[in-house]
Amino acid sequence: MLYQSYCAPDTIEEALTHLNRTDGARVRPIAGGTDLMVQLRERLVQTDMLVDVSSIPDLKRIWLDGHRLHLGAAATYTQLIESELVHQHAYLLAEAGRLIGGKQIQHMGTIGGNLANASPAGDTLPCLYALDADITIASLEGDRHVAMSEFMRGPRKTALRPHELITQISFDVVPEHAGSAFTKMGLRHSQAISVVDVAAVVGVLDGRIASVRVALGSVAPTIVRSPSVEQMLLRQAPSDDLLDRAAEATRHDIEPITDIRGSAAYRLYVAKPFVRQALDRALERASVSRAS
């Protein structure tokens, strides 16, 4: 038996009530289950009750409110891939979704689950750093907001407290003059856990880089922004030489480890071309969106 009991509420309030059981039972929210079911089976996680939030309608919505895009925490990767709003306003998330697992994992896995699982190799997480996302966390006491950069505290460690539920991810849309990109180095194309992944959002005004956020995954205990890259690019006119030097500067901001997917030295080596590729693609998309 992986868990003792199960419920599938259809409102956030009802889910929170279950998560606040006071009888000492261990309770866990479950969304897609693509990580949690494996952890339960391997006894890495033990729980008495699963609260299935994957079919709560309020958690599955994706909507635009002015210049803010909101993603319900139980939105699946397939939803990200297919959403017109995501394509238009945060293309890198659709790009990341397509590179996660295979179709079945994309149908099941959710962005909130990716956050709660807090793997340094979680592919949507660098995107949320590059988008400077805000995480809405609900509890019976009300909602609180945590910046993405504060949410992840270490491998599998988050700002989430027991009895709380991630309900929403929100961020400013990628502006007209900017482009976004996600690139990933895996050991194969599909079903691969990242060796290095990179998210970039770059804005260009009057031929100069007006805004830039670059984040990398799988190269440190948490996702990291790369201030060295960002500072080198800001207010400069993008050139082949500049982009190359900026990508090279990534190494100052990452501290990869050696594991079964790659050595620390290898990760340092491949981070550069993947940062370069992400910058190139984001810049290309910035110019396309300006031209259209």
Partner 1 sequence: MAKTTETIGEHHVRIELKLNGKPVSHVVNGGRRLIDFLRDDLHLYGTKEGCGEGECGSCTVFLNGTATLACLTPMERASGGEVQTIEGIGTAENLDPLQWAMMEEAGVQCGICTPGMIMAGLDLLKHNPHPTRDEIIQGIAGNLCRCTGYQKIITAIQRAAETRT
> What CA–CA distance (Å, rounded) separates 123 from 191?
12
Nearest alpha carbon to residue 140 among 7, 6, 22: 22
Which residues sit opposite 146 in a β-bridge? Answer: 135
* Contact residue for partner 1 among 16, 30, 121, 198 (CB under 8 A): 30
Cβ proximity to partner 1, 105 vs 264, nearer residue:
105
Q: Does 58 bind partner 1 (CB under 8 A)?
A: no
DSSP codes of every residue in 129-177: HHTT-EEEEEETTEEEEEEHHHHEEETTEESPPTT-EEEEEEEEPPPTT
116 binds partner 1 (CB under 8 A): no
Which of 25, 44, 57, 190 is in the footprint of partner 1 by CB under 8 A?
190
Residue 110, Ramachandran bin (φ over 0: left; ψ between -120 and 50: alpha; else beta)? beta
Q: Which amino acid is residue 163, in one-letter code?
A: H
Residue 32 sits in the site that holds partner 1 (CB under 8 A):
yes
Question: Should residue 268 be labelled a site residue for partner 1 when binding is judged by CB under 8 A?
Answer: no
Pairing of strands 224-225, 208-217: antiparallel
Q: Which is nearer to partner 1, 77 or 151 (CB)?
A: 77
CB of 191 to partner 1, least distance (A): 6
Q: Which of 46, 104, 231, 263 binds partner 1 (CB under 8 A)?
A: 104
* Residue 41 interacts with partner 1 (CB under 8 A): yes or no: yes
Residues 6+ apart with CB under 8 A from 3: 28, 40, 47, 48, 49, 50
Binding mask 162-181 for partner 1 (x = CB under 8 A): --------------------
Residue 35 or 253: which CB sits closer to partner 1? 35
- Quickly count: other Cβ atoms within 10 Å of residue 83's Cβ: 20
Stretch that binds partner 1, among 8-16, 148-156, 158-166, 176-184 (CB under 8 A): 8-16
Structure tokens at 232: 């080198």
Residue 9 near partner 1 by CB under 8 A: yes
Taking the C-alpha atoms of residue 204 and residue 7, their distance in angstroms, rounded to an integer, is 49
Q: How far is the CB of 105 from partner 1 (least distance, A)?
A: 6
Q: Is 290 in the site for partner 1 (CB under 8 A)?
A: no
45 contacts partner 1 (rule: CB under 8 A): no
Question: What secondary structure letter does DSSP report for 74?
Answer: T
Q: Least CB distance from residue 55 to partner 1, whole Å?
A: 8
Per CB under 8 A, residues contacting partner 1 are: 1-11, 14, 30, 32-34, 37-38, 41, 50, 52, 54-55, 101-105, 107-108, 189-191
